[in-house]
């Protein structure tokens, strides 16, 4: 992968978390027969090498749309789904996260994804 030019993630290419995973994973150099899981832990793990290990600039175009798409309602639905599913999900944790979100103290899916990107020092995230 050519790391000298920025990688562009277009927020117009997806409208929900599953779509985000599909788009972001399609941009990475992965083994041909390997499909990473669509969850935040797998996303975090794959960032260690998915764009390579060299410094990379990721430009997230239409990030305001993504911030809305992956905002409060999507995040509420995300946690409620985990609560409704029960095992193997930690429903106590999901309930706490949902309560924090509803009280104005929780992070949205967009916030969590941005935080995950920022935790990878070899990835420079630019929100446009």
Q: What pLDDT, on the 0 to 100 scale, is given for residue 32?
A: 78
Total domains, the chain: 2
Q: What pLDDT, on the 0 to 100 scale, is given for residue 2?
A: 45
| Distance from C-alpha of 127 to C-alpha of 115, rounded to nearest angstrom | 12
User: Is residue 4 domain-shared with residue 55, that is, in the same domain?
Assistant: yes
pLDDT at 102 over 60: yes
Domain with 91 in it: 72-107
User: Is residue 12 domain-shared with residue 60, that is, in the same domain?
Assistant: yes
Q: First vs last Cα of the chain: how many Å apart?
A: 23
CATH of residue 126's domain is: 3.30.370.10
Q: Compute the average pLDDT of residues 33-57.
A: 90
pTM of the model: 0.92
Predicted confidence (pLDDT) per residue in 66-98, tens digit: 999 999 999 999 999 999 998 888 999 999 999
Grouping H, G, I as helix, E, B as strand and the rest as coil, residue 51 is: coil
User: Is residue 44 domain-shared with residue 77, that is, in the same domain?
Assistant: no
| Distance from C-alpha of 64 to C-alpha of 128, rounded to nearest angstrom | 8
Burial label, 14 (beta-carbon count in 10 A; 0-12, 13-18, 19+)? buried
């Amino acid at each position: 992968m050519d790391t000298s030019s920025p990688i562009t993630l277009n927020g117009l290419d997806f409208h929900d978390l599953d779509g985000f995973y599909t788009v972001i994973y399609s941009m990475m150099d992965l083994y041909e027969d390997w499909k990473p899981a669509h969850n935040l832990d797998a996303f975090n793990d794959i960032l260690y090498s998915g764009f390579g290990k060299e410094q990379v600039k990721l430009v997230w175009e239409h990030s305001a749309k993504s911030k809305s798409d992956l905002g409060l309602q999507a995040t509420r639905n995300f946690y409620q789904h985990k609560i409704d599913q029960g095992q193997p999900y930690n429903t106590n944790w999901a309930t706490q996260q949902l309560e924090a979100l509803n009280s104005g103290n929780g992070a949205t899916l967009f916030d969590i994804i941005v935080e995950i990107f920022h935790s990878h020092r070899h990835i420079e995230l630019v929100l446009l």
